[in-house]
Copies of this chain bind each other. A is one copy, B any other.
C-alpha cells in the first residue's frame, strides 16, 4: 500500500516588502493547493529580504511575534485551503531575544509546532550570530495530519547530527527552509562546487536515515544594503529527494518556481528493510560526538 503525499516547494525572489511577499505566498498557496498540494514548504525568512548581509540594529524591526499578524494570515490560508504549511519567520521572543524560527500550520488546527534554528552561521554576508539566538527547543519533530515532520532551518542542513536526531525521534520527512547563495565574485567552478555540496550533503542525510527530504531555497540577487559586500545571488535549486537520496524534483537556480512533488511516504519502510542502518549504530562508541574536538 503506497501513501502518496503531494508536496510543494515555493521558491521565490524577495518582492520588496512584507506585504508584497505575503501576497506572493498567498497566490502561490492558492495555486499549489489547486494543483493538489497537501504540504507546502516555504523558503527561509520569506517575509523579507535576507537582512543578515550586514549587522544593523534597525533590521530587528523586521522581527515578529509568534503568534502574530503573519502567522494569522498564513494560518488562515492553511485553514481555508486545507494545507499543512511550513513557514519561516524572524521571531521576536523578547526585547533583545530573537530567533530564526520555522512555524508549522496544520489545516484548521492552526500552529501545531515551531522549530528554532539550532545551528547559527556567521560568515561574511551571513551575519546570523548577530541576529539569532541559537534555538532552545532541540531537534524535535512536529506532528501533523500528513505525518511527523523533521523541520530544520538552513545551516542545520550541513549537520548530519541534526538529521539523525530527527530520524531517531521518528521524523518521516526532513524539511529545510533555506537562504543560501553565491558570492558573485566567486569563479564559476567554485559556485558549482558549493551548490553541488549543498545538494549532496542533504541527499546524504536522506540516504543515511532512509527518509525523504525537501529543501526550499530563495532565489534572485539581493544587494548588500551596507554596500560593503558583493551581495548574494541566491541559487534556488530547491529540491525533493527520496529515501535513497534520489532526486525527485529540482528547481531552477535563477528564478521563482512552484514545484509540486509527489512523495511515496511508504518507501522509507522498504528502503530501511534493505539498508537497516538504524539497527547497527554503535551507540556504545558515539559518546565523543558530544565533544567539541577529540584532543
Output the nearest chain B residue to A124 by Cβ-Cβ distance. B274
Main secondary structure of the interface of A (DSSP, over half): helix
B residues within 8 A CB of A293? 168, 170, 278
The segment from A66-74, A82-90, A100-108, A154-162 found at the interface with B is A154-162
B residues within 8 A CB of A120? 280
B residues within 8 A CB of A294? 165, 168-170
| Docked complex Cα distance between A121 and B275 (Å) | 9
The reply on A5 being an interface residue by CB < 8 A is: no
Output the nearest chain B residue to A119 by Cβ-Cβ distance. B280
In this complex, which of A194, A208, A276 has the most chain B Cβ atoms within 10 angstroms of its Cβ?
Answer: A208
The reply on A287 being an interface residue by CB < 8 A is: yes
B residues within 8 A CB of A185? none
The segment from A7-15, A27-35, A197-205, A214-222 found at the interface with B is A197-205
B residues within 8 A CB of A291? 168, 283
The reply on A3 being an interface residue by CB < 8 A is: no
| Docked complex Cα distance between A244 and B195 (Å) | 10
Q: Is the CB of A161 within 8 A of B158?
A: no
B residues within 8 A CB of A246? 193, 196-197
Given contacts A208-B204, A295-B170, contact A289 B121 (CB under 8 A): no
Number of interface residues of A (CB under 8 A): 55
The reply on A181 being an interface residue by CB < 8 A is: no
The reply on A175 being an interface residue by CB < 8 A is: no
Contact with B along A261-292 (1 / 0, CB 8 A): 00000000000001111101111011111111
Output the nearest chain B residue to A243 by Cβ-Cβ distance. B197
B residues within 8 A CB of A239? none
Q: Is the CB of B201 within 8 A of A123?
A: no
Q: Is the CB of B286 within 8 A of A281?
A: no
Pick the contact of A289: B161, B203, B207 (CB < 8 A).
Answer: B161
B residues within 8 A CB of A169? 288, 294-295
Q: Is the CB of A208 within 8 A of B170?
A: no
B residues within 8 A CB of A138? 285
The reply on A51 being an interface residue by CB < 8 A is: no
The reply on A139 being an interface residue by CB < 8 A is: yes
